[in-house]
Amino acid sequence: MKFFYADSQDLVDPNFNFELESRDPSRIRQRDDRYAHELFTTPCYDGLLVSKGIVDGIGVGSRYTLAQRHRLYRLGVHEFFRARHLPVMGDCGAFTYVNEKTPPFSVDEVIRYYVDCDFDMAVSVDHVILAYQPEWDAGGIPEDVQYRQDITLELAAQFLDRHRTSKLRFEPVGVAQGWSPASYARAVEALQRMGYTYIAIGGMVPLKTTAIIACLAAINDVRKPGTRLHLLGVTRCEHINEFARYGVASFDSTSPLRQAFKDDKDNYYSPSNLNYTAIRIPQIEANARLMRSIRAGVVSQERARKLEKECLAAMRAYALRTCSLDGTLNVLLEYEQVYDGKKNHEAAYRATLADRPWEACECDVCRDLGYHVILFRGAERNRRRGFHNLWVFYRRVHEELAKELRLVGSAS
């Protein structure tokens, strides 16, 4: 099974100075900054997924500048991402236009994007159904929901037709959208009749694992032996072997990266399968809540500045084993009271500090950064921790898959 990372221009500055928190003045982002796959000496994903919605900035502002977008179209994905060795899949990024009545792209427009960017695999135009309601199968499917499934299938038929008549290089992937196991199975059957052998299952992101498994089981009853599945958006990897048994050949995810700085507690994945909370030492100017308190006169800027510096010094000393755990923790919690009086990360920080997980990780990020990787502070550290998570996640996925292979091997 292949893990595709859904990129949204996530790069880091390889020359960032973590002690001084400064950059090389001659840095040119596009030339000098690095993607996750350029930072590690061993793989951190099997492929990339690049969504048209993200590139074009549908719904939210684009992470791509106009110049970057032009470069992507001109050079193609392999050159642009400096990833000649990785398969790259394209899709529309249906979540970016989930609130629209109809998809904002025509089939021709999307095909032009796939051809210009030279994708290896490309997903047909789809429209997400954001509901899981198996009881609708007994009658009463909302019109809008049925329309979303119908338009997704209609666009998949047009997409495959254009692919055949123009003899395009990429492998076409049809999308199944549904609201229940039976409705997903019907969509997969329809796509197989059209001629698809690689089918993406959409709308799974908010579903519980039991619901995903129920859908895959129903799909499996109609799945032809040669049909491979791709799961669009997966957040966990515990059930990866079950997914594999139901024909899932690939999936994509952004969770390992996002959790590094969006999650309240699971910020750092450890190779021993535990997740740790990163140590928050916010930069005063970058923390809107703290700045408000300072401006309102509730917090003294001097005191905040002093605590911020003391936290950084305490973590440096703790990493060098010249400051005790409790001494370090006290400073961190005193600062936390100042920038966010409602939170208390004492137990979580104690676990992180006691286990020192950054010392045990063998990835290039942790080897380079040391304790800086565990600091929740600024994009350069936070994104690198996300890259580290990708690296660990990739290993977790492939270790899970290898376990099953060993079981199969020992049984036969």
Buried b (16+ CB within 10 A) or exposed e, 136-154: beeeebeeebeebbebbbe
How far is C-alpha 278 from the geometric centre of its chain's CA atoms?
18
Q: Which of 7, 10, 252, 266 is the catalytic position?
A: 252
- CB 40 to Zn ion: min, Å: 9
Segment 364-393, which members bind Zn ion (CB under 5 A)? 365-366, 388
Q: Which of 10, 91, 126, 266 is the catalytic position?
A: 91
- CB 86 to Zn ion: min, Å: 20
The question of whether 340 is a catalytic residue gets the answer no
Tokens of 286: 């970058």
Q: By C-beta, is 1 or 374 nearer to Zn ion?
A: 374
The answer to whether residues 358 and 263 touch, using CB atoms and an 8 Å cutoff, is no
The question of whether 24 is a catalytic residue gets the answer no
The answer to whether residues 46 and 3 touch, using CB atoms and an 8 Å cutoff, is yes
Backbone angles phi, psi at 53, to 5 degrees: -60, -35
Contact code string over 87-106 relative to Zn ion, x by CB under 5 A: --------------------
Backbone angles phi, psi at 22, to 5 degrees: -135, 160
Contact code string over 239-268 relative to Zn ion, x by CB under 5 A: ------------------------------
- CB 387 to Zn ion: min, Å: 8
Segment 287-326, which members bind Zn ion (CB under 5 A)? none
Indicate which single residue of 12, 44, 201, 363 sits in contact with Zn ion (rule: CB under 5 A).
Answer: 363
Backbone angles phi, psi at 21, to 5 degrees: 55, 55
- CB 289 to Zn ion: min, Å: 30
- Rounded to an integer, what distance in angstroms lies between the CA atom of residue 283 and that of residue 287? 6
Q: By C-beta, is 74 or 367 nearer to Zn ion?
A: 367
- CB 33 to Zn ion: min, Å: 19
361 lies in the binding site for Zn ion (CB under 5 A) = yes
Q: By C-beta, is 57 or 370 nearer to Zn ion?
A: 370
Using alpha carbons, select from 336, 350, 331 the residue that is nearest to residue 277. 350
Using alpha carbons, select from 278, 273, 213 the residue that is nearest to residue 246. 213
Which residues are near Zn ion by CB under 5 A? 361, 363, 365-366, 388
Residues that are catalytic: 91, 252
